[in-house]
């Protein structure tokens, strides 16, 4: 014990003896390990950490796919009636392996019973959801078992809603919440620590739970259009999912064909069921991001470790006499390694302490800014996994660095060095070790800088693209008729039009249009083009005659909708430039006058071609077509006059004055929506740029340290050459040529790694690869070459500035 205490004390003293060395190592490794801990923890939560639900390995999401005549999957969302039919079939089936099942319909609802009419993230669901997810109750109870269609009112609220909307009032149970005209008594409050699965939207925390039968889906009897807000959960043993998919597919296909037998469009179509683990479903959209971050964090750690290893090796050289004394006094090589390991461990533990602080900061930033982009980001916190990882990284790095450092020591020569006055037996770093360190740093730097440059190019291109419309001074509104006693659209349309007129009469408003946000692609229809008789599947949008003026979307050919087209719903259409190019085989004007036919709907004549909308979240521009909407809808956009403002309170007051059943569900700036859509690309640009800069900085420090040591060890050689007539430039060029050969080896290894990754993961990485990737590769090589030249130039300055005589005498300049 005393020996261990002495070793620790001596190691701490040795580590603190050179304060600049201590600070350099701790800061460099602290930041690098901190970044690595952040991405490692993020990867752990996304890929490995179990969900907080009981028996989470038995929880699966059921995906409903419609397969067209060509055998291609059209969608992976449920048809609403198909989901209810499957639910009933599973209820009545025996011994198919489903322990429990649940349907969830995600929505945003307005509590019209509250004075401020808060808009809450809502899930309509069935009673068995509580058993599947293990929902813990803080007060009251969950929904009692009920058959579909029984319509038993009731509401379960989150702890957050209880605290924020009802101030934790003790008599919350029994309080009435009015949603869509239905009064729901509060029957339960969920515990604060429960996290509902974010299936519909990352970062959207469920605040209100209502019985399934009260949802207001528009597609309850629709066997044509999918319901993108509906999700289906089952609980079943993982081993039985293969057979279960076959059984459920047979059920779904039989019902689908039965219900679409009279629709010619669906001849030859079928339905198929896929069962996906809930954990995989939750993180499906973030796999590429996680892989990139993990690779980047690991690459930085490798470069930093290489740098620090070089510093430690150089330190071993400078401590030659101390090591020789220890060896002479009887210390074995393993004792010398233990001494180095303990000193290195002290430094790595100090670095890990700094890393933990960096990680805590990183976790806070992720939860603050990325909870709506990264799945399960809201769960990330400092826990045992992060702490153990920090300690493990410190021990592993200390072991590797000390092992590499001790390998340059020739123990036999070391123990004899004092007897021979140390002449000719000094510790030197072999050229092989130096070259290996150079190659490793260059190869890793090439990979990281190329990846960063490709991501920067991709993100910058996306951010610089014109979105195809003008979002300046445009507000976006959405509202709904808060009732389940639906009287038909014709009953409400006059009041909706009246509301539009009141908005248009505001002095701040320049124009109003009934249209969804240009960023939203929701509905996709199959139609036939009269020009070639082929079937196409473009996205569909309902707009009015003011749409192009409000959003500033350009008309490229033909004409737009007139007021009479909207009022009488004339069978006319506009198509996007991409769709026009598809239909006209490159000639967008040739489609004017042709027709688009949707099954059971009279053909619409194409009268105009409009500019493409470039939605930031889509890698490619899909085809779109536009038809008149009849002059009324539940979504509007307002074009404001410059320098004016319309508030939510103004809109809500006009809405109540028009019809007290109107409930505002969204009020946002279109520019803010664009900024949110671009946020992921902006983050990618920032992270990739920071990674590239940090990589170059670490590469420069590492290459400079290695090259500088090489120059220092060859100072006598260079001065002898200069004494017999060699020019400094010749010596410099010779040194650079030697390093360039190392650069070529390192760049080749990095290139081979990149090509290998592309070969095996092309589908995953192809979105980032294009002809411009060659330029990115050239930039990468130039950047690394510049770092190498700069490192060589600075290292050789001492040779240039010092006189030959002083150099031969070993006197520094």
Separation in Å, CA 445 to CA 593, 607, 736, 746: 57, 55, 19, 9
369 Cβ contact partners less than 8 Å away, ≥ 6 residues apart: 683
Look at residue 423 in the predicted model and tell me its pLDDT: 47
d(CA 479, CA 652) in angstroms, rounded, equals 10
Look at residue 153 in the predicted model and tell me its pLDDT: 93
Q: What is the pLDDT of residues 444-466, one digit of tens each?
A: 778 777 777 777 777 777 778 88
Q: Supply the DSSP string of 180-201, one letter for each residue.
A: TTEEEEEEEEE-TT------SS
Residue found under tokens 């060589």: 792
Q: Is 511 helix (H, G, I), strand (E, B) or coil?
A: strand
Q: What is the pLDDT of residues 309-341, one digit of tens each?
A: 777 776 665 555 665 556 555 556 666 677 778
Alpha helices in 480-638 (DSSP H): 489-504, 547-551, 563-567, 577-584
Look at residue 17 in the predicted model and tell me its pLDDT: 62
286-293, long-range: CB within 8 Å, 24+ apart, which pairs? 286/46, 286/373, 286/374, 286/375, 287/764, 288/764, 288/765, 289/374, 290/42, 290/43, 290/46, 290/47, 291/764, 292/451, 292/455, 293/39, 293/42, 293/43, 293/687
Look at residue 749 in the predicted model and tell me its pLDDT: 86
d(CA 196, CA 199) in angstroms, rounded, equals 9
Look at residue 499 in the predicted model and tell me its pLDDT: 93
Q: What is the CA radius of gyration of the chain?
A: 34
Look at residue 61 in the predicted model and tell me its pLDDT: 93
Per-residue 3-state assignment (H helix, E strand, C coil) for 668-691: EEHHHHHHHHHHHHHHHHHHHHHH
Nearest to 348 by CA among 38, 31, 37, 26: 26
Assigned token pair, 566: 């909207």
For the ranges 252-256, 326-330, 760-764, 777-781, the lowest mean pLDDT is seen at 326-330
Look at residue 142 in the predicted model and tell me its pLDDT: 95
Q: Which band of pLDDT confidence, cut at 50, 70 and 90, is reported for residue 424?
A: very low
Look at residue 357 in the predicted model and tell me its pLDDT: 92
Q: 450: how many CB neighbours lie within 10 A of its CB?
A: 24
CB 141 within 8 A of CB 186: no
Q: What angle do CA 27, 439, 345 make, to 5 degrees?
A: 35
Chain-centre distance for alpha carbon 30: 25
What is the DSSP-derived secondary structure letter of residue 73?
Answer: B
Mean pLDDT of the 24-46 span: 85
Residue 422 has pLDDT above 50, yes or no: no
Assigned token pair, 625: 């077509």
Residue 133 has pLDDT above 50, yes or no: yes
d(CA 637, CA 49) in angstroms, rounded, equals 43
User: For all residues of the chain together, what is the average pLDDT?
Assistant: 82
What is the DSSP-derived secondary structure letter of residue 382?
Answer: -
Residue 771 has pLDDT above 80, yes or no: no
d(CA 123, CA 112) in angstroms, rounded, equals 17
Separation in Å, CA 304 to CA 35, 310, 430, 791: 12, 10, 21, 16
Q: 118: how many CB neighbours lie within 10 A of its CB?
A: 14
Measured over the CA atoms of residue 382, residue 388, residue 391 and residue 392, the dihedral's sign is negative
Q: Is 231 helix (H, G, I), strand (E, B) or coil?
A: strand
Q: H/E element holding 38?
A: helix 19-43
Look at residue 804 in the predicted model and tell me its pLDDT: 58
For the ranges 66-80, 120-134, 181-195, 777-791, the lowest mean pLDDT is seen at 777-791
Q: Which band of pLDDT confidence, cut at 50, 70 and 90, is reported for residue 425?
A: very low
Q: Which band of pLDDT confidence, cut at 50, 70 and 90, is reported for residue 129?
A: very high
Assigned token pair, 179: 């949603």
Does 533 or 438 have the greater pLDDT score? 533
Mean pLDDT of the 460-474 span: 86
Mean pLDDT of the 370-394 span: 83
Q: Is 59 helix (H, G, I), strand (E, B) or coil?
A: strand
Q: What is the pLDDT of residues 270-283, one digit of tens each?
A: 899 999 999 888 88
Assigned token pair, 211: 């019985």
Does 263 or 84 have the greater pLDDT score? 84
Q: What is the pLDDT of residues 76-87, one digit of tens each?
A: 789 999 999 999
Assigned token pair, 605: 């004549």
Portion of the chain with pLDDT greater than 70, in percent: 84
CB 150 within 8 A of CB 181: no
CB 385 within 8 A of CB 67: no
d(CA 452, CA 542) in angstroms, rounded, equals 41
Distance linking the first and last C-alpha atoms of the chain: 48
CB 629 within 8 A of CB 514: yes
Q: 50: how many CB neighbours lie within 10 A of its CB?
A: 8
Q: How many residues appear in the chain?
A: 813
Mean pLDDT of the 355-359 span: 91
CB 550 within 8 A of CB 637: yes
Look at residue 204 in the predicted model and tell me its pLDDT: 81
170 Cβ contact partners less than 8 Å away, ≥ 6 residues apart: none
Mean pLDDT of the 468-477 span: 92
Ranges of each domain in the chain: 69-268, 290-354+389-462+678-809, 474-676
Q: H/E element holding 602?
A: none
Q: Supply the DSSP string of 77-136, one letter for each residue.
A: S--HHHHHHHHHHHHH--SSS--EEEEEEEEEEE-TTSTT--EEEEEEE-TTHHHHHT--
């Amino acid at each position: 014990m005393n020996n261990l205490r002495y070793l620790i004390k001596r190691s701490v003293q040795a580590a603190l003896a050179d304060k600049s060395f201590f600070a350099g190592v701790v800061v460099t490794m602290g930041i690098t390990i901190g970044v690595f801990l952040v991405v490692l923890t993020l990867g752990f939560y996304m890929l490995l950490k179990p969900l907080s639900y009981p028996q989470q390995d038995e929880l699966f999401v059921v995906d409903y796919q419609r397969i067209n005549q060509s055998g291609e999957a059209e969608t992976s969302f449920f048809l609403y009636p198909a989901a209810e039919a499957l639910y009933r079939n599973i209820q009545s089936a025996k011994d198919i392996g489903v322990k429990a099942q649940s349907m969830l319909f995600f929505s945003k609802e307005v509590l019209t019973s509250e004075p401020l009419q808060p808009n809450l993230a809502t899930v309509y669901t069935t009673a068995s959801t509580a058993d599947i997810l293990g929902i813990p109750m803080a007060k009251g109870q969950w929904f009692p078992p009920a058959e579909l269609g029984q319509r038993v009112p009731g509401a379960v609220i989150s702890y957050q809603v209880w605290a924020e909307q009802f101030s934790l009032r003790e008599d919350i149970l029994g309080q009435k919440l009015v949603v869509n005209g239905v009064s729901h008594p509060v029957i339960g409050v969920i515990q604060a620590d429960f996290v509902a699965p974010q299936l519909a939207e990352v970062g959207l925390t469920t605040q209100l739970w209502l019985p399934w039968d009260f949802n207001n889906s528009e597609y309850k009897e629709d066997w044509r259009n999918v319901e993108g807000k509906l999700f289906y959960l089952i609980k079943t043993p993982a081993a039985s999912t293969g057979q279960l998919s076959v059984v459920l597919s047979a059920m779904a296909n039989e019902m689908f064909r039965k219900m679409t037998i009279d629709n010619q469009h669906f001849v030859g179509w079928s339905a198929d069921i896929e069962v996906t683990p809930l954990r995989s479903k939750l993180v499906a959209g973030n796999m590429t991001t996680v892989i990139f971050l993990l690779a980047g964090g690991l690459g930085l750690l490798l470069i930093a470790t290489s740098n620090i290893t070089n510093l430690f090796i150089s330190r071993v050289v400078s401590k030659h006499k101390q090591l020789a004394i220890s060896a002479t006094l009887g210390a074995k090589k393993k004792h010398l390694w233990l001494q180095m390991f303990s000193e290195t461990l002290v430094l790595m533990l100090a670095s890990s302490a700094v890393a933990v602080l960096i990680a805590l900061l990183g976790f806070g930033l992720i939860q603050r800014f990325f909870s709506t982009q990264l799945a399960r980001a809201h769960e990330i916190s400092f826990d045992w996994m992060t702490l153990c990882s920090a300690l493990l990284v410190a021990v592993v790095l200390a072991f590797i660095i000390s092992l590499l450092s001790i390998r340059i020591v020739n123990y036999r020569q070391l123990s004899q060095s004092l007897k021979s006055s140390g002449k000719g037996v000094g510790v030197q770093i072999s050229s092989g070790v130096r070259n290996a360190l150079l190659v490793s740093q260059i190869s890793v730097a090439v990979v990281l800088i190329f990846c960063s440059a490709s991501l920067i190019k991709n993100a910058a291109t996306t951010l610089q693209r014109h979105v195809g419309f003008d979002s300046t001074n445009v507000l976006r509104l959405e509202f709904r008729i808060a009732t389940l006693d639906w009287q038909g659209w014709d009953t409400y349309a006059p009041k909706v039009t009246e509301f539009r007129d009141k908005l248009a009469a505001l002095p701040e408003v320049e124009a109003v249009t009934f249209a969804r946000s240009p960023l939203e692609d929701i509905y996709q229809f199959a139609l036939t083009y009269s020009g070639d008789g082929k079937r196409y599947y473009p996205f569909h949008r309902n707009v009015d005659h003011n749409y192009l003026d409000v959003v500033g979307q350009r008309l490229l050919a033909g004409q737009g909708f007139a007021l009479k087209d909207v009022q009488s719903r004339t069978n006319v259409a506009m198509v996007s430039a991409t769709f026009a190019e598809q239909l006209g085989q490159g000639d967008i004007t040739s489609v004017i006058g042709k027709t688009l036919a949707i099954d059971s709907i009279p053909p619409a004549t194409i009268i105009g071609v409009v500019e493409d909308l470039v939605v930031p979240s889509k890698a490619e521009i899909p085809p779109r077509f536009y038809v008149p909407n009849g002059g009324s809808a539940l979504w509007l956009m307002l074009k404001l006059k410059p320098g004016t403002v319309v508030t939510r309170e103004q809109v809500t007051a006009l809405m109540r004055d028009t019809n007290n059943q109107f409930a505002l569900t969204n009020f946002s700036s279109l520019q803010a929506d664009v900024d949110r859509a671009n946020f992921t690309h902006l983050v990618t640009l920032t992270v990739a740029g920071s990674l590239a800069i940090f990589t170059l900085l670490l590469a420069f420090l590492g290459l400079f340290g290695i090259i500088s040591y090489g120059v220092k060890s060859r100072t006598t050689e260079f001065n002898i050459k200069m004494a017999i007539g060699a020019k400094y430039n010749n010596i410099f060029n010779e040194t650079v040529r030697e390093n360039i050969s190392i650069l070529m080896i390192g760049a080749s290894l990095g290139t081979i790694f990149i090509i290998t990754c592309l070969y095996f993961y092309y589908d995953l990485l192809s979105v980032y690869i294009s002809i411009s990737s060659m330029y990115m590769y050239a930039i990468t090589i130039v950047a690394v070459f510049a770092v190498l030249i700069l490192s060589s130039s600075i290292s050789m300055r001492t040779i240039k500035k010092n006189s030959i005589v002083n150099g031969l005498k070993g006197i520094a300049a």
